[in-house]
Chains A and B, each alone.
Chain A
């Protein structure tokens, strides 16, 4: 297939995944900040929402203070923020238009109708109230689910599908890693706080933003424990948003491309290296060496994989 087509499919999937992640982040932050101050402590949750989206410094070029109004606007509707939900959806639509021939009509329809539907929201410059905002966030998440579902159910299992999956999992791994990194301090409990209401709601918020609240209880049958949350998000490959699961998918899809094209390359090797490291890690060691360091390293490795894939296939 054309390199440009593969590149568009890869980024299309990333934009949709990112839009969903942003919607989840906002949703989770709204819930935490709705709690009485005693439950959430002094940290500015809106600030950490910006950090998990990786847009902290850019935000402060446009706004003085991180609060609900400014952060929701910047992450959802802003034209200035290149990875706002609005810009993600716009970019996804533009990418879809340029690779229409590689998309199934169901996938195109999902993106195109979302784009048409959201024109109303964009033209008003945002949502008017909490209720509308909640509806909007739900809509974005549903769009992503529909897109994923239609890709899964209607695409031929060939390179177009695999490149699109690479985009999903690379982006998803980045998102999960970022949220862990920003919240890692709550995962490192000081003795007196363990089990206190403050941490409890923070942890719930982490799980909610990766849609794993129920999963946690099914997997561990335990009350929320920070090391188990970290274990779930980093090493448990039964959770679709965990780093381990993203990497088994990345390795599998890259392998399929390698087999179809009759040759392997740097991206297959690099992805396998990261997967092996995740497979052989234990939470104790990770905590010992520092969650922050571990995740920083992972984020750099993950973005390096993006560059290698681009060089090997997309240009």
Chain B
């Protein structure tokens, strides 16, 4: 693979990009052991605050820290302006697509997306057919994963429209960076991210149901302490000043949702839920779910509670639907998509499948319904045996997979045992949609693949995070 585009050095040492000038100067001044010392300090801070995540199936390290890299990833105001515009466009299209799929279905009649891809998709929720949601907002919180392979383009790797996580790291990484490197901040004009909780709360309040009082009650619903993102749930509830509820704290009476408090039952109007569709209501979805609230879906149907994100948004971020997104944007908005898609082969289509089977060694193959980097094949990094095993899986269930070229994700200088070295990164900005506006706090979560040459940035697979700086003009 050719040398990847580097966020700091462009395509070579002589190509230092303007946004990184000050950082580059600073890096030359600061002694290398000072960086290592602050890295350790950062780790200690993270551990004491208790910012941990759980890795499923890993009992030894029930609570692990996501490694934090102290070298920030920087973006100029100009780059951000383009990205922001592209993100708003993309999320607007996602919301319009969802409204259409659960109502008129114009896009299916126009033969843009094959019907069976929707109706036979397990994440399509027939319960949502014809169900109105306040202000037609389905995806209130979106985490769009962005990658770059050159300075010109932003490419969407994945749309996360269900319960995207990671925003607590965006906020905490900044807190810790400001504590550790005040001098570095003094030399830059970094756009602040701290208003995210306020933006989120007002977005959530703006979509309260009509039957809510003037001061709607918002609660954050978590599956509980054993969930891998529990820290983030409690962190956000705290920052928003709302109750962190579990299913057992909620009760439905006469199609209204209440929480059990020390002063009796109290009505809830908006639930920012971090629980998957399947577990929301044992009466509608999985009957064995102990995390949910019996009757929640009937309160939802009665229009007495807003769920954020809405039920059934999985159909919009499904990896099989992903490949149609450029068409989706054009169909609803009549505009060219600002953000590119990664070229994608749909293994359900015979020509695509045969191409993929012939080129497994060069491609990345992903499960359509997978997430978190589980169950994917990275051809160039895999052994022959793994590739052959995957080939069998693919042949057995081609509709379960898509394939993409192995992209040289851009890199960013990162602290390693051998000093600073380029490591591949992606970026997850968080897009908030309320009744009136769509807002994006300037920044996001930069994830970095810490292993040399690795392209997998997922925290469950050994990825780390960086603070993301958007410079002001």
Which residues of chain A have a CB within 8 Å of any CB of chain B?
1-6, 94, 97-98, 100-101, 105, 108-109, 112-113, 116, 159, 163, 257, 261, 313-315
Instruction: Give A98 Cβ to nearest chain B Cβ, in Å.
Output: 5
Q: Which of A2, A108, A113 contacts B249 (CB 8 A)?
A: A2
Residues of A within 8 A of B225 (CB): 94, 97-98
B48:A101 contact, CB within 8 angstroms: no
Output the residue of B49, B237, B262 with the most chain A CB within 10 A: B262
List residues of B (19-49) whose CB comes within 8 Å of A's CBs.
47-49
Main secondary structure of the interface of B (DSSP, over half): mixed
Other A-B contacts than A2-B261, A6-B262, 18 sampled, CB-CB below 8 A, are: A1-B243, A1-B261, A1-B262, A2-B249, A2-B262, A3-B261, A4-B249, A4-B260, A97-B50, A97-B225, A98-B224, A100-B234, A100-B235, A101-B237, A101-B238, A101-B244, A116-B47, A257-B262
Q: Tell me, yes or no, whether B248 is within 8 Å of chain A by CB.
A: yes
Q: Which of B50, B230, B234, B262 contacts A3 (CB 8 A)?
A: B262
Beyond A3-B249, A4-B249, is A261–B234 a contact (Cβ under 8 Å)? no
Q: Tell me, yes or no, whether B157 is within 8 Å of chain A by CB.
A: no
Residues of B within 8 A of A105 (CB): 49
Beyond A2-B243, A2-B245, A97-B230, is A313–B262 a contact (Cβ under 8 Å)? yes
A2:B238 contact, CB within 8 angstroms: no
Q: How far is the CA of A98 from the CA of B249 in the complex (A)?
A: 13
A261:B50 contact, CB within 8 angstroms: no
Instruction: Give B50 Cβ to nearest chain A Cβ, in Å.
Output: 5
Q: How far is the CA of A163 from the CA of B262 in the complex (A)?
A: 10
A159:B262 contact, CB within 8 angstroms: yes
Closest to A160 in B: B262
A113:B48 contact, CB within 8 angstroms: yes
Q: List 16 A-B contacts (CB under 8 A).
A: A3-B261, A3-B262, A4-B248, A4-B260, A94-B225, A97-B225, A97-B230, A98-B224, A100-B234, A100-B238, A101-B237, A109-B48, A113-B48, A159-B262, A314-B262, A315-B260
Residues of A within 8 A of B246 (CB): 4
Closest to B266 in A: A2
B263:A261 contact, CB within 8 angstroms: yes
Output the residue of A101, A109, A261 with the most chain B CB within 10 A: A101
Beyond A97-B230, A101-B238, is A3–B48 a contact (Cβ under 8 Å)? no
Q: How far is the CA of A101 from the CA of B235 in the complex (A)?
A: 7
Output the residue of B244, B245, B246 with the most chain A CB within 10 A: B244
Instruction: Give B41 Cβ to nearest chain A Cβ, in Å.
Output: 16
Q: Tell me, yes or no, whether B259 is within 8 Å of chain A by CB.
A: yes
Residues of B within 8 A of A94 (CB): 225
- Fill in one digit per residue for B36-74: 1 if any A CB lies within 8 Å of its CB, else 0: 000000000001111000000000000000000000000
Q: How far is the CA of A315 from the CA of B263 in the complex (A)?
A: 11
Q: How far is the CA of A233 from the CA of B415 in the complex (A)?
A: 60
Q: How far is the CA of A112 from the CA of B259 in the complex (A)?
A: 28
List residues of B (199-236) whose CB comes within 8 Å of A's CBs.
224-225, 230, 234-235
Q: Which of B230, B248, B259, B262 contacts A261 (CB 8 A)?
A: B262
B262:A112 contact, CB within 8 angstroms: no
Q: Which of B234, B249, B259, B263 contacts A101 (CB 8 A)?
A: B234
Q: How far is the CA of A4 from the CA of B225 in the complex (A)?
A: 13
Instruction: Give B148 Cβ to nearest chain A Cβ, in Å.
Output: 36
Residues of A within 8 A of B234 (CB): 97, 100-101
Closest to A112 in B: B50
- Fill in one digit per residue for B376-408: 1 if any A CB lies within 8 Å of its CB, else 0: 000000000000000000000000000000000
Q: How far is the CA of A180 from the CA of B260 in the complex (A)?
A: 39
Q: How far is the CA of A282 from the CA of B460 in the complex (A)?
A: 65
Residues of B within 8 A of A116 (CB): 47
Residues of B within 8 A of A1 (CB): 243, 261-262
Residues of A within 8 A of B243 (CB): 1-2, 5, 101
Closest to B263 in A: A261
List residues of B (248-290) whose CB comes within 8 Å of A's CBs.
248-249, 259-263
Closest to A257 in B: B262
Output the residue of A2, A116, A163 with the most chain B CB within 10 A: A2
Residues of A within 8 A of B230 (CB): 97
Q: How far is the CA of A285 from the CA of B369 in the complex (A)?
A: 75
Closest to A116 in B: B47
Output the residue of A1, A116, A163 with the most chain B CB within 10 A: A1
Beyond A97-B225, A97-B230, is A112–B48 a contact (Cβ under 8 Å)? yes
B260:A2 contact, CB within 8 angstroms: yes
Instruction: Give B293 Cβ to nearest chain A Cβ, in Å.
Output: 14
Instruction: Give B463 Cβ to nearest chain A Cβ, in Å.
Output: 24
Q: How far is the CA of A261 from the CA of B263 in the complex (A)?
A: 7
Residues of A within 8 A of B224 (CB): 98
Residues of A within 8 A of B235 (CB): 100
Closest to B242 in A: A101
Q: How far is the CA of A94 from the CA of B224 in the complex (A)?
A: 11
Q: Would you list the 3 A-B pairs with minimal beta carbon distance, nearest first?
A: A100-B234, A101-B238, A313-B262
List residues of B (333-386) whose CB comes within 8 Å of A's CBs.
none
Q: How far is the CA of A111 from the CA of B245 in the complex (A)?
A: 22
Q: How far is the CA of A213 from the CA of B110 in the complex (A)?
A: 87
Closest to B222 in A: A98
Closest to B265 in A: A3
Output the residue of B47, B50, B225, B238 with the most chain A CB within 10 A: B50
Instruction: Give A99 Cβ to nearest chain B Cβ, in Å.
Output: 8
Q: How far is the CA of A109 from the CA of B45 in the complex (A)?
A: 11
Residues of B within 8 A of A101 (CB): 234, 237-238, 243-244
Closest to B237 in A: A101
Instruction: Give B27 Cβ to nearest chain A Cβ, in Å.
Output: 32
Residues of A within 8 A of B260 (CB): 2-4, 315
Beyond A98-B225, A100-B234, A100-B238, is A2–B50 a contact (Cβ under 8 Å)? no
Residues of A within 8 A of B48 (CB): 109, 112-113
Q: How far is the CA of A315 from the CA of B261 in the complex (A)?
A: 8
Residues of B within 8 A of A163 (CB): 262
Q: How far is the CA of A109 from the CA of B44 in the complex (A)?
A: 12
Q: How far is the CA of A2 from the CA of B247 in the complex (A)?
A: 12
Q: How far is the CA of A2 from the CA of B237 in the complex (A)?
A: 13
Q: How far is the CA of A105 from the CA of B261 in the complex (A)?
A: 23
Residues of A within 8 A of B238 (CB): 100-101
